[in-house]
Structure 1
Amino acid sequence: MTSFQPDRTWFKAHSGPPLSIAHRGASAYAYDNTLEAFERAHELGADMWEVDVRLTADGIPVAFHDADLKKTCGVDLALSEVTAARLIELTDAVGRPAPLFSEIAALASNLGAGIYLDAKESEAASLAIAELIANRIERVIVGANTPAYCAELLEKGCPYPVSILVGLGLDPFPIADQCGAEIVHPCWERAGDRPDRLLDDTFFGNAERRGLPVVIWHEERKDVVDALMKMPVLGICSDQPEMIARYKFAGLKRPEIVCHRGACKVAPENTSAAAQAAWGGGFDYVEIDVRETADGQVVVHHDVTLDRTTTGEGPLADQTSREIAKLDAGSWFSSFFQDEKVPELAEALDQARSWQGKLYVEIKQADPVDVAQAVFHKLSPEDVFFWSFNQKSLLEIRENFPDARLMARPEDYENLEDCLNAFGADIIEFNVRNANAADLEAVRKAGRKTMVAYMGSDPEVFDRLFQLQPDVLNVNEPFLVQRLLSQKENCGTNNAWFV
């Protein structure tokens, strides 16, 4: 049996959108350089994982960024002073388990992910590369922090392409010329609010003349990412890989997506983190639930009581906004989110506007006119729609705001006609039990949008819903929908969505 020989030129054949490179995994949603961060990166659509590799005292390569354990574990020890077993013990104790690189390589092989290797030491690089070869991983880039290290990797016959990481204020091209790098990686994220403007025609002209692809620093600012996505770059690193691997690209026709309580499988429901993941991933709507506090402020929270998703207890309506602001709304989901708060409606609206995202507002217990007025103070009517179990609330919104978009559900009426006529709803939401082609077509003929809600994760159920071609899907698993649709597109399906 012949040994595995990776194609060192794989990156030259890449075309299309930039590769999404998860910086230390999806480190906006899990502790960096942990298996959870890399698994989350895969869920969010990352093509590659940027992994920092160092050696322990017993010569085991592990995923770890810092040279010491002070920041991560609160102990004054160098990583090189502890064995792999001791490192695992220390990081487990603080809920941030450091994986062996062999575990990451096996996971990447199983999930089909590529690796952007940031090896902090030469021996660590050699051992990590051996693991990547053993796991038959093709799509790898080895990053070098100095020209000397880059040249050393190439002289020793690195089986993968080598990039040179270049700091702010340095011209990457003479450096690449000197060391023979095959990819340039400017690390310029600290160059002000718009570092993308450093990548001008002259920069890309220099790169093109040398045949050097460009990988970009880790970036999470929406305006900067938007600009970078339009540039001729090989890949973009990000703590939020979903911002690069977006749901919608030019030329693809896909249904609009409502992320139920935000991306609630990625971050705690009804929090700013869950909304960030949803809009960052390019999905259309975030669904939020709103309730009124004891002092008349409107906040984003689903349950009547605080107990399930916060450190508070009892009915939300009995607490003031100041009391609710002190609660932790993230630790129930993961210790990583222990600082998440219950957002005020005003904060959710500001976040929607900053992301240019849309909202589906479900009024649980609050004055509907006050809620709608607050919403329209910051968002346009076309960027939001409302629903409530209390039909009177919807009628009040319709009476006071004729341009407001409202939703209705056939399950709440005797028949579909009554549903359409109740208050002139703009969106009709079906569920997996009552959605059928005839009723969806009737809704379309009435000039309304069709939506189907499904909070499960069964691919067969999604396949049936895809065949109905609703205008909107309301889901808990938006990134799963994205993967399933991508699979269909790649298979050349005849579904009209993919024409």
Structure 2
Amino acid sequence: MTAFQPDRSWIHDTPRPPLAIAHRGASAYAFDNTLRAFRLAHELGADMWEVDVRLTADGVPVAFHDADLKAVCGRDLGVGDVTAAALAELTAAAGRPAPLFADIAALAARTGTGIYLDAKEGEAATRAVGLLLENRVERAIVGANTSDYCASLLAAGCPYPVSILVGLGSDPFPIAEGCGAQIVHPCWERAGARPDMLLDAAFFARAHERGLPVVTWHEERMEVVEALVKMPVLGICSDQPEMVARYKSADGPRPEIVCHRGACKIAPENTRSAARAAWSAGFDFVELDVRETADGHLVVHHDSTLDRTTSGTGDLAGRTLADLADLDAGVRSDPFFAGERVPRLDEIVDLAFAAGGRLYVELKQADPVRTVETVLKRMAGEDVFFWSANADWLHLIRKRFPQALLMARPQDFDTLGACLAAFEADIIEFNRGNATATDIETVRKAGKKVMIAYMGSDASEMERLLALEPDLFNVNEPFQVARLLAGLEGDRGAASKPSLPV
């Protein structure tokens, strides 16, 4: 028996923003309750992981939500009917490997992440708590679905705070008083379009009188999350933990973040999922690449060929839009994204408009006039900028669309002066090799914005480039940049969180 005793007083803090509790991991981007889901949740900035725990036939705690294997493996077997080894084999064969809770506890300890434990039975809770203590996990909450279960956990001396999960239509406070719960957790996500409105001043007054912190249901609607973030809650569960503590370039001297091909380390590049992930996290721009199909449709895809990122082969330009609709643009990235399609440009534009996001549009092989028309028909000119390696196209865009914002790169010109003069670019993009304080000052004196592109993941190099104070930072690793900036601004806890392979 370990002598480690966690401190429970932290639940009475009111963190701002509230704790981001990743519901079964980042289950919007990975199969729930898998190690990949928890690693992604860490990358997305989650403070805690909600984990469902069951016991196998040989008494091993595993992360698994359902009581049986029908949905995951197509087998009419209960989790408690198979050994841990058999479960690992069956779920791995189904492409959704169920991890041992011991591995999750070790990963949480390594990353400094808390655990919100949803044990489906008492013995599973006892063994899972033991593993948390063995790994010296400081912050954990044990959730109970019934009053009797809550009371039994407390009677057994649970060393972590216990929450009571309360369904819609029930008053959580008498229930909490009756069973001794130390946290109330209303599960009210199905209470219409705006369940947050149920958490009014009277609700929080009752919680405060009883000294009960509040954790909310899992929520993925942006307007609801934004409302919850402003409330005095301890934590917010979400399949998309990035929504809880969003990046805000307006906070302090921060650059606007450009997500190269979307959040391409979270979801497949240049897809709707990658764009949504970037904007959900609060990042400013999504960079995308535009090509034209054989029948004249504008689509978002980087390579000239389909082989690397889709289930197809050969040149994209030789395929019709109907041909592309039959291809899978997600499965090569991860089986979770099977069925993701090559998006049309107008689909991404619509997403940007709905999310309040902005775009950096790179023209690879597409009619420049129709491309700009498609974007500016829906978006304000200040919310998008354009670039192409084809300088003639940029000159044409400047002539036909004087209001359009254009980018230029010094590496494409003999001198910086020539770059500044070319097609009256509004944004000048440097890279790690040519970004200097002197040239950046010259660009600023010319009234242009400065962008630096860096596609690596070296923290010291990121810090060096950020010290040049670019207006925009074009990166493959936006979440790493956000953590680094938080550390530079004084949140050393955020900066010290280690990166994990996802």
How has the CA–CA distance of structure 1 residues 249 and 218 changed in structure 2, closer, same or farther, with 3 Å as cutoff? farther
Partner of 2:457: 457
TM-score, structure 2 normalization: 0.96
Partner of 1:496: none
Answer yes or no: is the 8 Å Cα contact 1:363–1:387 preserved in 2.
yes
The correspondence of residues 202-241 of structure 1 with structure 2, limited to 5 A, is 202-241=202-241
The correspondence of residues 167-316 of structure 1 with structure 2, limited to 5 A, is 167-248=167-248, 251-316=251-316
* Greater mean deviation of Cα atoms: 123-132 or 243-252: 243-252
Partner of 1:59: 59
Letter in 2 for 1:113: T
Letter in 2 for 1:68: D
Q: How far apart are residue 249 of structure 1 and its match?
A: 7.9
The correspondence of residues 374-385 of structure 1 with structure 2, limited to 5 A, is 374-385=374-385
Runs of 4+ in 1 over 3 A off after TM superposition: 249-253
How has the CA–CA distance of structure 1 residues 155 and 81 changed in structure 2, closer, same or farther, with 3 Å as cutoff? same
Partner of 1:323: 323
Letter in 2 for 1:67: A
Q: How far apart are residue 252 of structure 1 and its match?
A: 3.7
Q: How far apart are residue 201 of structure 1 and its match?
A: 1.8
Answer yes or no: is the 8 Å Cα contact 1:9–1:161 preserved in 2.
no
Q: Secondary structure at the match of 1:422?
A: helix
Separation (CA, whole Å) in 2 of partners of 1:475 and 1:306: 23
Separation (CA, whole Å) in 2 of partners of 1:182 and 1:93: 40
Q: Secondary structure at the match of 2:41?
A: helix
Partner of 2:127: 127
* Greater mean deviation of Cα atoms: 234-243 or 244-253: 244-253
Q: Secondary structure at the match of 1:4?
A: coil
Separation (CA, whole Å) in 1 of partners of 2:234 and 2:89: 38
Q: How far apart are residue 137 of structure 1 and its match?
A: 0.6
Answer yes or no: is the 8 Å Cα contact 2:249–2:257 preserved in 1.
no
Q: Secondary structure at the match of 1:163?
A: strand
Q: How far apart are residue 491 of structure 1 and its match?
A: 6.4
Cα distance per residue 1:239-277 (max 9 Å; x no partner): 111111322287443111000000111111000111111
Q: How far apart are residue 2 of structure 1 and its match?
A: 7.9
How has the CA–CA distance of structure 1 residues 330 and 375 changed in structure 2, closer, same or farther, with 3 Å as cutoff? same
Partner of 1:44: 44
Partner of 1:495: none
The correspondence of residues 64-103 of structure 1 with structure 2, limited to 5 A, is 64-103=64-103
Q: Which runs of 5+ in 1 are unaligned?
A: 493-499
* Residues paired across the two proteins, number: 492
Q: How far apart are residue 169 of structure 1 and its match?
A: 1.4
Q: Secondary structure at the match of 2:329?
A: coil
Letter in 2 for 1:128: A
Separation (CA, whole Å) in 2 of partners of 1:263 and 1:368: 25
- Aligned-residue CA RMSD (Å): 1.4
Aligned-pair identity (%): 67
Q: Which runs of 5+ in 2 are unaligned?
A: 493-502
Letter in 1 for 2:131: E
The correspondence of residues 395-410 of structure 1 with structure 2, limited to 5 A, is 395-410=395-410
Partner of 2:157: 157
Letter in 1 for 2:470: P
Letter in 1 for 2:128: A
Separation (CA, whole Å) in 1 of partners of 2:252 and 2:73: 46
Q: How far apart are residue 490 of structure 1 and its match?
A: 2.4
Separation (CA, whole Å) in 2 of partners of 1:395 and 1:61: 63
Letter in 2 for 1:182: Q
Separation (CA, whole Å) in 2 of partners of 1:361 and 1:432: 21
Cα distance per residue 1:427-446 (max 9 Å; x no partner): 10000000000011111111
Separation (CA, whole Å) in 2 of partners of 1:264 and 1:491: 26
Partner of 1:392: 392
Separation (CA, whole Å) in 2 of partners of 1:481 and 1:39: 17
Answer yes or no: is the 8 Å Cα contact 2:13–2:234 preserved in 1.
no
TM-score, structure 1 normalization: 0.97
Q: Secondary structure at the match of 2:467?
A: helix
Letter in 2 for 1:116: Y
Q: Secondary structure at the match of 1:177?
A: helix
Answer yes or no: is the 8 Å Cα contact 1:31–1:37 preserved in 2.
yes
Letter in 2 for 1:25: G
Letter in 2 for 1:452: I
Answer yes or no: is the 8 Å Cα contact 1:299–1:342 preserved in 2.
yes
Answer yes or no: is the 8 Å Cα contact 1:243–1:281 preserved in 2.
yes
* Greater mean deviation of Cα atoms: 101-110 or 482-491: 482-491
Cα distance per residue 1:80-113 (max 9 Å; x no partner): 1111111001001111110111110001001110
Q: How far apart are residue 141 of structure 1 and its match?
A: 0.7
Answer yes or no: is the 8 Å Cα contact 2:14–2:233 preserved in 1.
no
